[in-house]
Structure formats: structure tokens, C-alpha cells
Structure 1
Amino acid sequence: MLLGRLVGLPVFATFQGGDLQLTALERRLRPVAVRAAAGLVIGPALEAERVQRRYGVPSRKVGSIPNPLDVSAWTPGAREQARAELGLSSGARVVAWHGRVEIHRKGLDVLVDAWRGLAALRPHDNLRLLLVGTGTDASALRRLVEPVRSVTWIDEYLLDRGRIRRLLSAADVYVFPSRVEGLPVAPLEAMALGLPIVAADLPGTRQILGGVEAAGGVIVPQEDPDALAAELARLLADETLRAKLGRRARERVETSFSPEAVGHRLRDFFVRNGMRVPPLYSTAPV
């Protein structure tokens, strides 16, 4: 901040969440630095509101702007090829989840309970739950899913985003049952693949979906396996609705979370708070 003052340039900062301050010096300097910044870029809207209240920062200096998702890297893959790789039939109804295996935080116990309920609701359907990822609770999750029919679990740390994209392309619906999240990336990746999502009610999921089906998904109460099972059953039974929500999901990511969309929001925020930026250049042919 001091260097910016010395050279006459506005200094912007990001705030990554949390209020843990490890040293006495940090406790003294953080409020000063936050208030001295020309602007703060914070992804989760709820966290942006908290920082504004906690540090008394004017609302114009706080921008709730998410990290962008490279939508060009998240395009739907060949569905039948993905299913063949997983040994899933073309007629199966597939629900997918991916992420770190942390049972409580990610709501995986709720998901397993909901899946049991869904199997009871539709006992004659060819249902498959696709789980992608591993983590500290992998052993506990294995005990949970062992007695449950029709679960396919890729129990690996996957860093290859291309492979994750191919695996998720096998799905009809994406499920996100988390209890605790900021502004989650996983549902955005699924939405970019054209998958409708069923998500637990969190500030971050409401921010992604705007709370309405028009954005490509459905929000259900937290820790409610019956509601989760009911919405999954509704989408799995209606191919037309799934296709409509899937198109809306992709459009939502393109218009609100792509690098172009986020870049325009950042530019507007910087200009409002004193930064001089060059004009945007047209890419249209001359």
C-alpha cells in the first residue's frame, strides 16, 4: 500500500476469506491495509458483506467478483465414450459428484442417504451414482457405500482436468450436497459441461444459481436427503427438463463466470475506484 502511495498508483487487494490473524503485527496492520486499499476483490458475496461490515469499508470499494472458469476447457465430451470407459450402459441414469472426500464438509453422508432413498423410489430403474475423487475420509466413505447398490467410485486424486471432464460427461445430472463451501468451483465445472445440478442451499450455490431454475439447477435444503432424492428423481425422469436446465447451466457459466465476463466486471470495478485502464479493443475484423 505504501509503495502505491509513493508512486501515485491505486493498489487493489484480494481477500481470500477467514479472519484468523496469527501475529500481533498482523492484527494491527490488517485493518489499516484493508481500509487503505483502493478496492477489495472478494469472490463469495457473503464474505464480501462480512468484510465490509467488519472493517467499515464503503460498499463501492468491495467487489464480489468470482475467479473465472476457462469454459473453453470445460466442454461436453462424448457421452457414450465416457460411459464405455466406466462400464456404464447407454440406458443408465447417471448422477455425478466430484471433489475431495471429506464426508461432513462435502455432505457425502447426506448424498449416500439420498441415493438409498432414490433407489427405493425407483427400484426398477438402472441408476448409477458416479463419485470422482478421494481424500482423508476415503476409508469411511468406502464403508458407507459398500452396502449401497449402483455406485461407481473413481477413488483417485485426479489432477488431469481433461480426464475429469471426460468422466463427468457420462452423467445426466450433477449433485452437490455440501454443508460448507465458499464460492465452489466444482458445480461451475459441471454446469460448463451442460449438466443440470441439484445443490444444497448454501450462500455460494445461491450466488451461482441466483436461486432459480433459470440458471440451470435446483437448490434443496441442507442436510435433507429426502428433498435431495426427490429432486434427483424429478430430473432423472424428465429428459426434456434435464436438457433445458443443462443449456441454461452452460449459458450461466459463459455469461457470468467466463474469463471475458469476469474481466469486464474487474475492469468496471477498477475504473470506478480510480484506476486508469486502456479502452477495450474490438476483436471484430476490419
Structure 2
Amino acid sequence: MSNTPLIVMATDSMVPSGVGEHMLTLAGAISSTHEVALAFPPHGDGVRFLVRGDAAGFETVALDEAFPKWLTARRPAILHVHAGIGWEGHGLVEAGRIAGIPIVRTEHLPYLITDEQQKSQHRMAAGLADTLVVVSDSAAESYRAEGFDRLVTIRNGIDTPIVRHPRGDTRETLALPDNARLVITVARFAAQKGHDCLLHAAAEVTRQIPHVVFLMVGDGPERETMQALTASLKLANIAFLGQRADVPDLLAAADLFVLPSLFEGLPIVVLEAMALALPVVATRIGGTLEALGSDHPLLVPAGSPYSLAGAIVAALANGPGSRTVGIRGRARFEQRFTAARMGRETAALYQAMRKRVCLT
């Protein structure tokens, strides 16, 4: 029987996406000192993460009606619940409390709940957790504004993405003209991500730079609506690629990354672009601002297609300047946003919690 402490990381999000990526990365970052089990719903996108967790060598468990009994029998040192949005994770926290297991709850977005009943349910669930973690200082501020205290900020971190194919090969696979300027966004198609703003900006960018191509990577409930908007704007240079397993290759093939979100916790995909020295145009909001830094020259107001188009055109027109921005972004990533740093801080939190349990 191993003396290595077992951490169960769990999310009941129906579409784990960035939360699932975070959990896999964190599991890898602490795997030298902790045993990790990963729990996802056994349907939808959760299945993909169960498969990936198993392939990475972690114990995996489906979140079904048997999970509370499994949790009680397995007796992990910590149950770490990951909530993609405020109304997720409540049942998991309750199951952990009933089993008598110390609980960490990570909130991956700023506080966004407006419904009073949902606020009450969230406050009750958050109160059952021993520690409430947020992924950025801006998210922490939003929680403090709602009266939460005893928050711990552990900023998201990632491993440097692995690029498997040369830039030229990927561009050839995409059938891009030699003179194409490639702009990419990787985001779930949801209102939060601002795809409509990007498409309206793309119309103006295309008018000024006819050889620009936009790649839209991801899926979600707003995809068909955005495809219809693309048709109504008569944009023939927008490619909707859906979910892709080769995102690092696509990022490495691009000239510019754009994320026009209305709000974020601390977006993993921005860190991926930074790690690959890809210049980023993004909205001046929350965790995105925290990732890129307040002095980042390619930040624009949220919801402004005109400003977004101007920043994209400026970035594409100034190749040397944009490359410098990308290089600075990579240095910032290496200093602040590595998976190793996130793992150390999380492991220290687990250790402190376990010491408290021993003392009581």
C-alpha cells in the first residue's frame, strides 16, 4: 500500500473543455509527489477526458450514482472539485463532506451568478469546502466583492505545447496561399467568447488585408449561429475547424492569435499562444489582462469590433513589432505561468490542509 497521498480531482461540468485540460495538466504537475485519480461525467465531452486521463496513466472514475460510495471506500487525502462556472460542483462538494474528506474547490471563472437562488446554493456549497481557490487575482476580487474571504489564488499554468509538424507543412495541409496572413482563435462557441465581435471585425480586416484567413477552432452551442453570421457578412475567408487534436501545430502555423472574450478566469489558450511566442490580440478583461500584462500593446475593449479590427490590422502590418510582442509573451509565460509553478503551489496547499487535519 503506497504512502503517497491520493488526490481525487473531479468536475461535473457537462463540457469540461478548459477545466478538463487544467485538471490533466495539474495531475501531471503533481504526479511525482501525489497519486491522482480523475473523475469526469461518463457522457459527452467527459468521456474524452476519461480516455485521456487513462492514457496518461491516471486512475479514472466515472461520475455516476456509484461515485459517493467509491469516494467513501477510496478515502483520498483531498477531494479537489473544479467548477467551470458557479453552479457546478455542488453535489461533488456535498459528497466529499458526507465522506469526511478535506475539500478544495477551484472556481475557474470570476463570480458571475445573478440569480438569488443560485447565489444561495453556491454560497452553501462553497461554505462546505475547506479551501476556495481562484485562478487569477481579478477573479479573487470578484469573489471578495460578494463577501467571500479565505480565498487562495493559484494562477493557471501549462506545459509548453508540443508542436509536431513544421509550420510550412501545417499551412500546406490547410491549403493556404503563400501570402496568406493567418489569424486563429481557439475557443468554445459560447456567447462569453465574443465570436460575433470577431466576425464583424474580420469583415473590416479583410477589406484592408484581402489575403487574411481566419481559423475558428472549437465547437459549442453558438457555432451554427456564427456560421450563419459569416454567410450574412459574405466572408469567404473564415474556416470553422471544429474540435482539433493538433492545436499546437495550428498555433505555430498562425501569424496572430485573437481572443475577444467578454470575461475569463485565466484563459489557458492565451498561455498556449504565449508559450509559442505567438502574438496575441485580446480584450482588456480579467484574467486575460493578468496573463498578458497591463502593458501589452494589443489589448482592446470588450465588445468593440472597430477596436478589435484596428488591433488585428496593426499587428499584421507590423511583422517585426509583433514578433517582439510574441517573444516578450513567451518570456512572461516562462516566468509566471508554467505547469511546474502551478503544481508547486497546489502541492503546498494540499500539504498545509493535511497538516491542519492532523492537528485537529
TM-score range, shorter chain: 0.7 to 0.9
Residue in structure 2 matching 1:100, options 188, 212, 234? 188
Residue in structure 1 matching 2:243, options 157, 165, 177? 157
Residue in structure 1 matching 2:275, options 192, 195, 210? 192
Q: Which residue of 2 aligns with 1:282?
A: none
**What's the C-alpha RMSD, in Å, of the aligned pairs?**
3.4
Identity %: 27
Partner of 1:155, secondary structure, is: strand
Q: CA deviation at 1:172?
A: 0.3
Residue in structure 2 matching 1:114, options 201, 215, 228? 201
Q: Which whole-Å CA distance do the structure 2 matches of 1:201 and 1:232 have between them?
A: 14
Partner of 1:153, secondary structure, is: strand
1:232 equivalent in alignment to 2:312: yes
Q: CA deviation at 1:98?
A: 1.4
Residue in structure 1 matching 2:255, options 161, 172, 175? 172
Q: Which residue of 1 aligns with 2:221?
A: 136
**TM-score normalized with structure 2 length:** 0.61
Q: Which whole-Å CA distance do the structure 2 matches of 1:109 and 1:138 have between them?
A: 10
Deviations 1:41-67 (A, max 9, x none): 21132332233343452xxx4322123
Q: Which whole-Å CA distance do the structure 2 matches of 1:91 and 1:196 have between them?
A: 19
Deviations 1:224-264 (A, max 9, x none): 11111111111111111121111112222222111122234
Cα 1:141–1:260, aligned 2, differ >3 Å: closer, same or farther?
Answer: same
Q: Which whole-Å CA distance do the structure 1 matches of 2:122 and 2:135 have between them?
A: 23
Conserved in 2, the CA contact under 8 Å of 1:127 and 1:150? Answer: no
Conserved in 1, the CA contact under 8 Å of 2:230 and 2:238? Answer: no
Q: Which whole-Å CA distance do the structure 2 matches of 1:106 and 1:227 have between them?
A: 16
Q: CA deviation at 1:149?
A: 3.8
Residue type matched to 1:14 in 2? Answer: T
Cα 1:153–1:66, aligned 2, differ >3 Å: closer, same or farther?
Answer: same
Residue type matched to 2:141 in 1? Answer: E
1:48 equivalent in alignment to 2:48: no
Residues 22-61 of structure 1 correspond to what in structure 2 (within 5 A)?
A: 29-30=124-125, 32-33=127-128, 37=130, 39-55=131-147, 57=149, 61=150
Q: CA deviation at 1:114?
A: 0.8
Q: Which whole-Å CA distance do the structure 1 matches of 2:123 and 2:195 have between them?
A: 40
Cα 1:83–1:27, aligned 2, differ >3 Å: closer, same or farther?
Answer: closer
Residue type matched to 1:85 in 2? Answer: T
Q: Which whole-Å CA distance do the structure 2 matches of 1:232 and 1:27 have between them?
A: 39
Residue type matched to 2:243 in 1? Answer: Y
Q: Which whole-Å CA distance do the structure 2 matches of 1:10 and 1:180 have between them?
A: 30
Q: CA deviation at 1:182?
A: 2.4
Conserved in 1, the CA contact under 8 Å of 2:157 and 2:271? Answer: no
Q: Which residue of 1 aligns with 2:157?
A: 68
Residue type matched to 1:128 in 2? Answer: V
Q: Which residue of 2 aligns with 1:148?
A: 234
1:263 equivalent in alignment to 2:349: no
